Structure 1
Amino acid sequence: MTTISIIGGSGFIGSRLVHRLTNQKNHNIRIFDKAPSLTFPQLCKVCDVRNIESLKGTLPEESTLINLAAEHRDDVQPRSLYHDVNVTGAANLCQVAREKNIKTIIFTSTVAVYGFAPLGTNETGQIAPFNDYGRTKYQAEQIFKAWQAELPAERTLVIIRPTVVFGEQNRGNVYNLLRQIASGKFLMVGNGENRKSMAYVENLAAFIEHSINFQPGVHTYNFIDKPDFTMNELVGSVKRTLGQPEKIGFRLPYSVGYAIGKCFDLLAAVTGKRLAISSIRVKKFCANSVYSTAIDSTGFVSPVPLTKALEQTIRHEFIEKHDDQPVYFSE
């Protein structure tokens, strides 16, 4: 039986992953997180990747380690948390892995390591992060690679770089967009022809499960579900599922939207409050973010087609009632 230690397993992706893995009788699942698991409290031990002693006291010997822990919001304060959690956390996990004879680490990084990347960027794309999240995630990748290189014939490192992840029970950027459309208050910024790569949480969890049995070496993959919607197509699809007219009315020019975002940046700085609108969010909304991936070479096939995943999420959140289920706040 394989013992699998999931760092950050109480969150959105982790909870979906644990749900998949607990259906397999040959896995012994353990969750390690700074917050208790609302879905699997019996499997969870509270610890913090920033505290190496707490990791040493809890992580089991010779387990497969999946690191989902991250500091990732756009507005994290203090900003040093990005380094403390993403970089120092990676170093602490590697040190404990050495001491506990852990031979496999699966690390969820991010396509944010590429920054505002050219269309179709694959795993060999130029590393050019534009924010602290992408920068510190790439630094963490290098720490994990150094750990693997110490015993390259014995150690397995899987680096997964997902694009924006959405799904039922999530309260991140995709949910906020869907909620605006559902409420009828959505305002399109720009011409809507920019395209977005997306990833459904169930499919990402399935690929993490798929990668558990990879052989020694370094395996790096972007994670994307295809096809890539334009914003116009995405909005139209949401409205169609909700039974709303698909036509998009007034469009706010990008220059005006970005200026408004700057005003909200100033307001946030003055008040110290986290606001839903910012210049970086306007910029990301209007940018193309289209990636390609070599995942097909592993034999993996996503279990849920993207169009069906989007429809399931919309129905779950805005048509059906699921008030008894926990929700997860992320970006």
Structure 2
Amino acid sequence: MKIAIIGGSGFVGTKLIDALGVTPELSIINIDKQPSEAHPTLTVLGNVLDTESLSNSLIEASVVVLLAAEHRDDVSPTSLYYDVNVKGMQNTLEAMKKQGVKQLIFTSSVAIYGLDKDNPDESFPAEPFNHYGKSKWEAELVLQQWAQDHPDWSIAIVRPTVIFGEGNRGNVFNLLNQIASGKFMLIGKGNNEKSMSYVGNIVAFLQFLIAKISPGVHVYNYVDKPDFTTKDLVHHTGKILGKRIPTLRIPYWLGMLGGYGFDVLAFLTRKKLPISSVRVKKFCAVTQYDSTKAMTSGFQPPYSMQEGLRRTLAAEFGK
């Protein structure tokens, strides 16, 4: 069985290849525009914007896992979100059709729901607030339309919330790093609940879907429970690290004002800065999602949230 991972040189893709690589019956290829430091021998350079090279790389593939995406908050120009996430989906489907591949697992995002929603499940209407969420939703619509015209295809759409884990350098790591360095400042009251996913569980769920994928379209939110509030996350992190929890808090309006200031500075300097109004808004928003469907599908997460956090902190900060 040959599994083609598109965009597997990044954080989740590297962990997925690590996990799949222990099964000798599987043949794995990683197609990415960036080389893979962890898996160079399994990687071929390719781009979702180049249908011909993509198609050639999918020869004899049984399953495609599409991870490739533009996902940072500060991608410029914004048209790149739609080129990669939407046009890339179209190109992937055409390349799969050319090679006779009919099984696809696509990682979308809970960003399609927008911010401050009431624990949405998979039936909740899409209302994305930024270009990343909008482009992911448009990619899903392309895939849904394709499925209507190709009912014999097996398609799984996974909408994970923010993913953390060993080696990740995203928003959760930035938060943990700030706490560890004693430079953390809480914006707002910190009572907003934050759904998160540990990378070891996400990878296990993708493996689960590869093994059980069936005809039709299957959509899953992915969240590890329980949901922590921002204060909970700070408390658990501080306790594990043995750090005194900062007590300084600033009002939300002041945090947003600072975020807009960094937006202006980033525009003037043409630099990507670690703070922005979008990141402040996301940090303070309620990002809680329902994952009952995934958790009643027969899948059992191998790690608890607390264990995932402990493993991450141990790897990054030696605690």
Contact 2:4 2:61 in 1 (8 A): no
Deviations 1:172-203 (Å, cap 9, x if unpaired)? 11100000000001011111111100001110
Instruction: Provide the residue aligned with 2:28 in structure 1.
Output: 29
1:145 to 2:148 alignment: no
The amino acid that maps onto 1:290 is: Q
The runs of 5 or more residues in structure 1 that have no matched partner are: 321-331
Instruction: Provide the residue aligned with 1:156 in structure 2.
Output: 154
- The whole-number CA distance in structure 2 between the counterparts of 1:13 and 1:149 is 29
1:270 to 2:268 alignment: yes
Contact 2:3 2:61 in 1 (8 A): no
Instruction: Provide the residue aligned with 2:120 in structure 1.
Output: 121
Instruction: Provide the residue aligned with 2:65 in structure 1.
Output: 66
Residue 192 of structure 1 aligns to a residue whose secondary structure is coil
Deviations 1:192-216 (Å, cap 9, x if unpaired)? 1111000011100100010012210
Contact 1:145 1:157 in 2 (8 A): no
- The whole-number CA distance in structure 2 between the counterparts of 1:105 and 1:9 is 15
> Aligned-pair RMSD on alpha carbons?
1.1
- The whole-number CA distance in structure 1 between the counterparts of 2:44 and 2:147 is 26
- The whole-number CA distance in structure 1 between the counterparts of 2:203 and 2:278 is 28
- The whole-number CA distance in structure 2 between the counterparts of 1:251 and 1:117 is 21
Residue 125 of structure 1 aligns to a residue whose secondary structure is coil
Instruction: Provide the residue aligned with 1:282 in structure 2.
Output: 280
How far the C-alpha of 1:62 sits from its partner, in A, is 4.5
How far the C-alpha of 1:57 sits from its partner, in A, is 2.2
- The whole-number CA distance in structure 1 between the counterparts of 2:101 and 2:59 is 9
Instruction: Provide the residue aligned with 2:191 in structure 1.
Output: 193
- The whole-number CA distance in structure 1 between the counterparts of 2:117 and 2:84 is 29
- The whole-number CA distance in structure 1 between the counterparts of 2:290 and 2:99 is 36
Contact 1:3 1:64 in 2 (8 A): yes
- The whole-number CA distance in structure 1 between the counterparts of 2:271 and 2:295 is 43
| Comparing 55-64 and 197-206, the one that deviates more | 55-64
Contact 1:35 1:46 in 2 (8 A): yes
Deviations 1:260-293 (Å, cap 9, x if unpaired)? 1111111111111111111111111111100001
Instruction: Provide the residue aligned with 1:225 in structure 2.
Output: 224
Deviations 1:104-146 (Å, cap 9, x if unpaired)? 0000000000011422111111100001101111111111222
The amino acid that maps onto 1:255 is: W
Match of 1:207 among 205, 208, 213: 205
- The whole-number CA distance in structure 2 between the counterparts of 1:266 and 1:309 is 36
Residue 198 of structure 1 aligns to a residue whose secondary structure is strand
Contact 2:29 2:43 in 1 (8 A): yes
Instruction: Provide the residue aligned with 2:85 in structure 1.
Output: 86
Contact 1:16 1:205 in 2 (8 A): yes
How far the C-alpha of 1:149 sits from its partner, in A, is 2.0
- The whole-number CA distance in structure 1 between the counterparts of 2:314 and 2:159 is 28
- The whole-number CA distance in structure 1 between the counterparts of 2:250 and 2:118 is 24
Instruction: Provide the residue aligned with 1:174 in structure 2.
Output: 172
How far the C-alpha of 1:162 sits from its partner, in A, is 0.3
Instruction: Provide the residue aligned with 2:18 in structure 1.
Output: 19
Percent identity of the aligned residues?
Answer: 46
Deviations 1:63-92 (Å, cap 9, x if unpaired)? 200000000101001211101110110000
How far the C-alpha of 1:60 sits from its partner, in A, is 1.6
- The whole-number CA distance in structure 2 between the counterparts of 1:62 and 1:72 is 26
- The whole-number CA distance in structure 1 between the counterparts of 2:4 and 2:49 is 17
The amino acid that maps onto 1:150 is: D
The amino acid that maps onto 1:271 is: T
- The whole-number CA distance in structure 1 between the counterparts of 2:242 and 2:168 is 22
How far the C-alpha of 1:61 sits from its partner, in A, is 3.1
- The whole-number CA distance in structure 1 between the counterparts of 2:150 and 2:171 is 39
Could you tell me the TM-score, scaled by structure 2's length? 0.97
- The whole-number CA distance in structure 2 between the counterparts of 1:232 and 1:112 is 22
Contact 2:81 2:131 in 1 (8 A): yes
Runs of 4+ in 1 over 4 A off after TM superposition: none
Contact 1:6 1:14 in 2 (8 A): yes
- The whole-number CA distance in structure 2 between the counterparts of 1:282 and 1:22 is 38
Contact 1:62 1:103 in 2 (8 A): no
The runs of 5 or more residues in structure 2 that have no matched partner are: none
Residue 296 of structure 2 aligns to a residue whose secondary structure is helix
Instruction: Provide the residue aligned with 1:326 in structure 2.
Output: none
Contact 2:116 2:285 in 1 (8 A): no
Instruction: Provide the residue aligned with 1:302 in structure 2.
Output: 301
Say how many residue pairs are matched.
317
Map 1:40-79 → 2, pairs under 5 A: 40-79=39-78
The amino acid that maps onto 2:86 is: V
